[in-house]
Amino acid sequence: METKKSPKADLEPKKLTFTLIGLIITLAIVFSAFEYKSYDKRTVDLIQRAVEDIPEEIIPITEQQVKPPPPPPQIQPQQLQIVEDDVEVDTDIEINVEVDQTVEIEEYVPPVQEEEEILEHEIFTIVESMPIFPGGGEAKMMEFIAKSLKYPPLARESGIQGRVFVFFVVETDGSVSGAKVVRGIGGGCDEEALRVINSMPKWTPGKQRNKPVRVSFTIPVRFVLAG
């Protein structure tokens, strides 16, 4: 017996269509899977806040007591001492009313005040004419110090060397006075420096306004050990 099949029931021609439809559905499912978003679960704990009712502290307002100002000092009235006026005062002024144009009147000449003299005890540091060491100034003075100086044995043994600064005053007669050590090095050097300064010959005194004055100096006396 021959089997008869209707052409409409044959699915072979529609195979490609069903394949495309299945592919589209598959792609749609895959796309949906990629687009799907998942969120982490969060547990929210609702904590009840306990509100503590703290009464507000009221700070009392204090009033600062202001001390009254002290009473003003009592002013004692000055007592007037009455002195008997027994002294006779000659208030008569002689006025010559008969003076005319022929009387010669002496011209008033104000007294001339002499220029203030420079005090002899005043000590200057800089004057118009400075004192000069005999023989030629500072170079001769340092030469005199170098020749007169004797190195103290204690300083030599201890290896002490340096400069001793000595202050002194050249008086109005050229002599040296008031020598003292301003800064020393010890070891007998200070005493030796004073001895040399006090043994200086008389200087040519300094002058201010052509008058001899006292002038102060501070010089270094050097102690150097020979190598």
pLDDT digits (tens, 9 = 90+) for 169-178: 999 999 999 9
Q: Which residues pair with 212 in a beta bridge?
A: 207
In a domain, 63, yes or no: no
**pTM of the full structure:** 0.49
How many alpha carbons fall within 13 Å on the CB side of residue 127?
Answer: 24
In a domain, 191, yes or no: yes
**Which range of residues forms the domain containing residue 209?**
123-223
Q: Which residues pair with 204 in a beta bridge?
A: 132
In a domain, 101, yes or no: no
Q: Band of the pLDDT at 219, cuts 50, 70, 90? A: very high
Query: What is the maximal distance between C-alpha atoms in the chain?
Result: 199
In a domain, 130, yes or no: yes
Q: Band of the pLDDT at 17, cuts 50, 70, 90? A: confident
Assign residue 147 the CATH number of its domain. Answer: 3.30.2420
| SS3 call for 10 | coil
Residue type, 83: V
Task: Give the burial class of 96: count Cβ atoms within 10 A of its Cβ; 0-12 exposed, 13-18 middle, 19 or more buried.
Answer: exposed
Number of structural domains (the chain) is 1
In a domain, 180, yes or no: yes
